[in-house]
Amino acid sequence: MFGKQPNARVEHDDDQLCTTEYSRIVPLENGEIVVSLINGRPGSKNFTSSPVLQDFTKATNIRLRFLRTSTLLGHLISKAQRDPSVTRRYYYSIKDISIGGRCVCHGHAQVCAGGHYQDNPKRLRCECRHNTCGESCDRCCPGFNHKRWRVATADSPNECHPCQCFSHAADCYYDPEVEKRRASLDTFGRHDGGGVCINCQHDTAGVNCERCREGFYRPYGVPPDSPTGCIRYPVYQTTTQSPAGPFVGPTACPPGYFGSPSCQREWDYTGYDVPL
């Protein structure tokens, strides 16, 4: 009837099933039909490790179709043969329909509660943990994208890790290429992860806002998280000779430095008074 082989072996987590288990005559009343989207499937013993089964269980709509009732062979009696509509006038009733479900929180919440939506106060939302955000805890919170977002498992919560921006940026994004090159620092000073800071403030720049932008320097001994650590290079007046006479103009580098605007030390100069 449905184009599926009944009672077939379940081989995949997203197989659609057809069963005759509940097609028997007995019990005549108070019978119960139980349908599970998880039990009996290959990934049922390790649900958190089966993305296919996780996606399959995200059912949001249910349709019940009552096509015909079992007639105790009533369709074979003589009256039914004379009037086929007899079996269509049999009656049955549903005593109770119970549907159980759970919030899709990807393992990052223990509670889902209502009251988050003014238009629908009964609508549930995950109370996210592990530095995750979103209705289903399906992304890392701003500033916690140092590692790729992952589903929590029974072995690991796979929490989202903060980016190391030295307090110069409020948000970041994850870049797998940066992680591959080991070009980003974590909050422990290790080159581990792919967090890239967004919109570095306080005249800083770099993957981790770890250096000063061009035209600025950080004096020796100033910590990298200081909001006033990057100072603009001073502008010195220099005098040069030209055919028209001496010319006085600004230069971005102090004595002993070259390469404006990114000043570098001249190795044979000893009279430094402006530290980098």
Look at residue 111 and tell me if it is in a domain.
Answer: no
pLDDT in tens, 265-274: 544 444 444 4
Q: Is 76 exposed, middle or buried (0-12, 13-18, 19+ CB in 10 A)?
A: exposed
229: domain range? 163-235
**Which tens digit of pLDDT belongs to each residue from 166-223?**
999 999 999 999 999 999 999 999 999 999 999 999 999 999 999 999 989 999 899 9
pLDDT higher at 71 or 34: 34
Which DSSP state fits 55?
A: H
Q: Is residue 89 part of a domain?
A: yes
Residue 15 has pLDDT above 70, yes or no: yes
Task: Give the chain's domain count.
Answer: 2
Cα torsion angle, 121, 126, 132, 138, sign: negative
Domain CATH for 174: 2.10.25.10
Per-residue pLDDT reduced to its tens digit, 153-162: 888 999 999 9
Res 166: pLDDT: 96
Taking CA atoms, 20 is separated from 92, 93, 109, in Å, by: 19, 20, 38
Spatial CA neighbour of 17 closest among 50, 58, 34, 32? 34
Share of residues in the chain with pLDDT > 90 (%): 35
What CATH number is attached to the domain comprising 69? 2.60.120.260
Looking at the fold, whether 5 and 79 belong to one and the same domain comes out as yes
The pLDDT tens digits of the residues spanning 55-92 come to 888 877 888 888 777 666 655 555 555 666 666 667 77
Residue 150 lies in a domain: no
What SS3 state is found at 246?
Answer: strand
Q: Choose the final residue of a domain: 98, 122, 139.
A: 98
Query: For position 257, what pLDDT does the model report?
Result: 57
Co-location of 93 and 169 in the same domain: no
Does 138 map to a domain? Answer: no
The pLDDT, as a whole number, for residue 185 is 95
266 part of a folded domain: no
Q: Kindly state whether residues 15 and 92 are assigned to the same domain.
A: yes
pLDDT of residue 28: 75
Please give the pLDDT value at position 267: 47
Its sign, for the CA torsion 266, 269, 274, 276, is: positive
